[in-house]
């Protein structure tokens, strides 16, 4: 059976990690990437950068699946693009590495990527358009709202809540039952033991 084609939006370092997950999952065939004008014609892991943002309406005539492969600390750009491509009509399937463990009792929305080595335990709820990056541990009953980036090797303990658009830095560890607000940045390597208000920049 031929695989469904998908285009990737974003052609930087995070796109390479996304490509690896998509290849291992073996469900979608990568048709090409959307990048910046100056990147046109270059290749990422053997796949061509064949368009820029303005080409998306035309590309939608041929490809209906897309994944946002931009991995930034500022989640705003990802979230704007997510809304734009939804409006164009693209489907955004969730990509899950075969090397991740995702409980059957977890509920995961659309347009997410769950990367290699992630563990998502029972009762977890994840919205749309999130990156659950390599080796993150998402414990029971955690809730992650739309548009979050949960970086590499983070630990979100039981019942933690993460608001829309929040970035959790690499190796941060969040105590059980803690709520982190919307649009926060939690620095890498930090332990969070108290609730964090919306729009906070937490550096310890
Ligand atoms: C939080 C973060 C975004 C701040 O970056 P920044 O705005 O450039 O801030 P700076 O590096 O100028 O640091 C500002 C201050 O906060 C401190 N600080 C920044 N990040 C910190 C961290 N993670 N832990 C402890 N202190 C930190 C700095 O030491 C500095 O203190 P000073 O003013 O006393 O010297 C950045 O440090 C960080 O943690 N990025 C996440 C990287 C990551 O996880 N990437 C993974 C992608 S998968």
Say how far apart CA 120 and CA 48 lie, in whole Å: 33
Same domain, yes or no, for 79 and 99? Answer: no
Residue nearest to atom 39 of ligand 1 (CA): 187
Retrieve residue 27's tokens. 């469900």
Is the shortest distance between the CB of 204 and ligand 1 below 6 Å? yes
Retrieve residue 123's tokens. 């009762």
Expressed in angstroms and rounded, the spacing between residue 187 Cα and the centre of ligand 1 is 5
Domain boundary among 58, 88, 118: 88
Domain boundary among 63, 88, 113: 88
Residues of the domain holding 44: 4-88
Q: pTM (2 decimals)?
A: 0.97
Number of structural domains the chain divides into: 2
Is the shortest distance between the CB of 84 and ligand 1 below 6 Å? no
Q: Residue 11: give its domain's CATH number.
A: 3.40.50.20
Say how far apart CA 156 and CA 172 lie, in whole Å: 8
Same domain, yes or no, for 119 and 178? Answer: yes
Residuewise pLDDT in 10s, the chain (204 residues): 578 999 999 999 999 999 999 999 999 999 999 999 999 999 999 999 999 999 999 999 999 999 999 998 888 889 999 999 999 999 999 999 999 999 999 999 999 999 999 999 999 999 999 999 999 999 999 999 999 999 999 999 999 999 999 999 999 999 999 999 999 999 999 999 999 999 999 998
Expressed in angstroms and rounded, the spacing between residue 189 Cα and the centre of ligand 1 is 10
Say how far apart CA 7 and CA 175 lie, in whole Å: 37
Say how far apart CA 187 and CA 164 lie, in whole Å: 17
Is the shortest distance between the CB of 188 and ligand 1 below 6 Å? yes
Q: Is residue 124 part of a domain?
A: yes
């Amino acid at each position: 059976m031929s695989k469904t084609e998908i285009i990737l939006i974003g052609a930087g370092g995070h796109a390479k990690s996304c490509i690896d997950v998509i290849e291992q999952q073996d469900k979608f065939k990568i048709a090409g990437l959307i990048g910046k004008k100056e990147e046109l014609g270059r290749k990422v892991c053997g796949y061509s950068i064949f368009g820029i943002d303005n080409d998306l309406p035309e590309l939608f005539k041929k490809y209906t699946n897309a994944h946002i492969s931009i991995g930034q600390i500022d989640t705003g750009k990802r979230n704007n693009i997510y809304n734009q491509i939804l409006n164009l009509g693209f489907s955004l399937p969730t990509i899950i590495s075969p090397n991740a463990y995702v409980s059957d009792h977890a509920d995961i929305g659309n347009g997410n990527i769950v990367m290699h080595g992630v563990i998502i335990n029972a009762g977890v709820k994840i919205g749309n358009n999130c990156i659950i990056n390599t080796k993150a541990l998402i414990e029971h009953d955690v809730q992650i709202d739309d548009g979050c980036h949960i970086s590499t090797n983070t630990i979100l303990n039981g019942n933690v809540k993460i608001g829309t658009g929040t970035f959790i830095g690499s190796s941060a560890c969040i105590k059980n039952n803690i709520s982190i607000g919307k649009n926060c940045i939690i620095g890498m390597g930090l332990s969070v033991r108290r609730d964090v208000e919306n729009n906070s920049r937490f550096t310890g």
